[in-house]
Structure 1
Amino acid sequence: MIRLKNEKEIDGIRKSCHALADLFRFVIPQVKVGMSTKEIDDLCLKFMKSVGGTPAWYREDFPGAACISINNEVIHGIPSKKRIIHDGDIVSLDIGIDLDGYISDSTHTVMVGNVKPEIRKLVKATRESLVAGIEACVAGKRIRDISNAVNNVANVKYGYGVVYDYCGHGVGLDVHEDPSVPNAPCSGPNPRLQPGMVLAIEPMINLGVPDVELAKDGWTVLTADGKPSCHEEHTVAIFEDHTEVLTQCDGLPDWA
C-alpha cells in the first residue's frame, strides 16, 4: 500500500533528510586512503547521535550505521575494520537517519585518489541518470517514467548494466515502503505519481553486466562479473506543482 504523506509528515522527513545532507558534508571530506570502512561507520554514527538521530538501518537489523560498498560491491557492504580503502577505489555511502521516527535515505559514491578514467565516467553517468530520474518524477506521471529516464541515460546512452534485482522505493515513515521504483523498464505495478508520495530514487549502475549475486555474509551484493558498480540516491517528495529533493547536498567539496 502506498502511504501518502501529509504536510506534517513531510516536514518531519525533510528535517531528517537535511540532517543526512549535513552528515554527508561532514563525512565525505574525511574518506581517505588507509581508512577502514568501520572508521567511516563510526563517524556516521557519531554524527547521527549528535543530532538526536539513530541509524535507519537498525530497523532492518543491518550490522552498521551505514552501508559502505567498495568497487564491485553494489550495495549493503558491511562496515569492517578489515575492509581498507585504497587509492583508486570508489566507495558508496548508503546512509539513512531515523530522526523522531522519520526516515531519510541517500547515497553518494566517493572517488578516492587516482580513480581510472573509465570508472570516473561510470560515476558521472550514474549521477546523470539520477538527475534524469528525478526530473521524470512529477505528479501525474508514472513510476515507469522514472525507470525509463534512468535506463535511457545509464544503458541507452552509456551502455552500462542497470541493476534490476534491486531498486528504489517509497520511504519516510519506514525504510522500505511501496511503491518499488525500478531503474530499468519492467513489467509489474506502474502506479501514477501523486502529491504526498516520498520516494528514494537510487540508480545502481554496473560497469559491466547488470547481474548481481549475494555474498556469503548474507548482506553484501556483488557484481556478477567482478567489475565496479556505482550507486547514487536522493529522497524526493512529490507535490502538486513541483518535486523537492529533500536530501539535496549543496556545498559538498568536489570529491570527483
Structure 2
Amino acid sequence: MGLFDWSRPGVEVKTPDQVRAMRRAGLLTGQTLETLRDAVRPGISTGELDAIAEDRIRSGGGVPSFLGYSVPPYPGSICASVNDVVVHGVPGDLVLAEGDVISIDCGAIVDGWHGDSAITVAVGEVADEVETLSDVTREAMWVGIAAARPGGRVVDISGAVEDHVRARGDYGIIEDFTGHGIGTAMHQPPDVPNVRRSLRGPRLEPGLALAVEPMVTLGGIAWTEDDDQWTIRTADGSVSAHWEHTFTLTEHGAWVLTALDGGESELARLGVPFGPLGD
C-alpha cells in the first residue's frame, strides 16, 4: 500500500515502484477514453458508451473504478455528462445528437491502484462558443498541472486554473466539486479546488498523486442534483465542460499518468520538465 504521511492525515505518498503501478492504471484509463472518443457519434446512446468502456477496462486487465461506487451505488463504468450536466451523468438510454457535447469521466483499477481522467467531446459540429469552452477548460487543466512544483502548494494548481479561465472570458468555474488525491483509493486527500481558497493546502512532493479536473460553464456556478442522487446540472441550463488528468511529481518533473504520452507534448509546450520513471 502507499506510504501515509501521518502529519497530513490521509495523504498518501507513493514510492517510485507504486507510481509505476499507478501508471498502468492510468494508461488503461487513457486508452479507454481514446476508444470512447472514437465511438462518440450522433445516434449512439450513453449506455452503449458505458458498455464499450466496461469491456475495454476488463479486457485490459482492470476493474471499473466507478461501478458500484459510494451510496447509492453508482450504476455505470463511466460518467456521461451531456450538455448542461456538469459531472456524474448516469449512462443510460439518452441518445447523442448532432451538436451535443459530452464529458466522459472514466476510472480504472489495476492491481489495487486507480487511474482517473475525463475528456469533453463534441458530437459532430457544435457551436463555436461550446468548442471554445472545452478548449479553455482543457488548457486550464494543463496549466494547473504545469504549476505544480516540489515544495509548492496545492493552491498553486488552483490559482493557475482559475487565472487561466478568468483571463479567457466570462465563464463560470464550478467551486463545489474539486480535484483530489488518488492512489489506493479513487478519492483521497487533499482536495484540489479549481479556484483559490484561503487554505494553501498540503505541500507538493514527489510521489503525491493528484487528479486535476476543472469544470467550467458558459453561465453561472449554481447547480442542481437530479433525483438519481448523482447527476449534477447547471442551475441555469448552461453548457458545461470537464477535463481531468491524474499526475504525479518525480524528482525529474511532472508525469501525467493518464496521458498516453505521459504529458510530454503538453508539458514541453508549457516549458515544464517532463519526469517519467523508467521501468
Residue equivalent to 2:82: 70
Counterpart position of 2:5: none
Output the amino acid matched with 1:79: P
Which residue identity does 2:159 align to in structure 1? N
Matched, 1:26 2:35: yes
Letter in 1 for 2:228: D
Amino acid at match of 1:67: C
Residue 187 of structure 1: CA displacement?
A: 2.2
- What is the TM-score when the length of structure 1 is the normalising length? 0.94
Whether the 8 Å CA contact 1:125–1:158 is kept in 2: the answer is no
Root-mean-square deviation (Å): 1.2
What amino acid does structure 2 have at the position aligned with 1:72? D
Which of 8, 14, 17 is 1:5 aligned to?
14
**Aligned equivalent of 1:41:** 50
Is the deviation greater in 185-194 or in 22-31?
A: 185-194
Instruction: For 1:240 and 1:212, locate their aligned partners in 2 and report how far apart those are by CA, in whole Å.
Output: 40
Partner of 2:237: 226
Q: For structure 2, which runs of at least 5 residues remain unmatched after alignment?
A: 1-9, 262-279
Residue identity in the other structure for 1:249: L
**1:188 Cα deviation after fit:** 3.1
- Secondary structure of 1:105's counterpart equals strand
User: Structure 1 vs Structure 2: percent identity of aligned residues?
Assistant: 37
Measure how far apart 1:74 and its partner are.
0.3
1:191 pairs with one of 168, 189, 202: 202
| C-alpha distance in 1 between matches for 2:139 and 2:35 | 24
> Offset at 1:19?
1.2
1:164 to 170, 175, 189: 175
Q: Runs ≥4 in structure 1, deviation > 3 angstroms?
A: none
The whole-number CA distance in structure 2 between the counterparts of 1:49 and 1:195 is 30
> 1:24: how far off?
1.8
> Over residues 116-135 of structure 1, what are the superposed CA-to-partner deviations in whole Å (9 max), with x where a residue is unaligned?
00111101101110111010
Out of 14, 17, 23, the residue aligned to residue 14 of structure 1 is: 23
The residue aligned with 1:109 is 120
- CA distances 1:6-26 after superposition (whole Å, capped 9, x unpaired): 122111110011111211222
Distance 2:24 2:170 in 1: 37
Q: 1:87 aligns with which of 92, 98, 115?
A: 98
1:165, 1:212 within 8 Å by CA — same for their partners in 2? no
TM-score computed with the length of structure 2 as normaliser: 0.87
Match of 1:203 among 214, 232, 239: 214
Q: SS in structure 2 opposite 1:179? A: strand
SS of the equivalent of 1:96 reads strand
Q: Check conservation: 2:12, 2:183, Cα contact below 8 A.
A: no
Distance in 1 (CA, whole Å) between partners of 2:132 and 2:200 is 32
Q: Distance in 2 between matches of 1:249 and 1:159?
A: 32
1:146 corresponds in structure 2 to 157
Shift of 1:189: 5.2
* C-alpha distance in 2 between matches for 1:103 and 1:181: 17
Aligned partners of 1:182 and 1:101: how far apart in 2? 26
Of 169, 172, 176, which aligns to 2:187?
Answer: 176
For 1:53, the equivalent position in structure 2 comes to 62
| Structure 1 unaligned regions, length at least 5 | 251-256
Task: Kindly tell me the number of residue pairs found equivalent between the two proteins.
Answer: 249
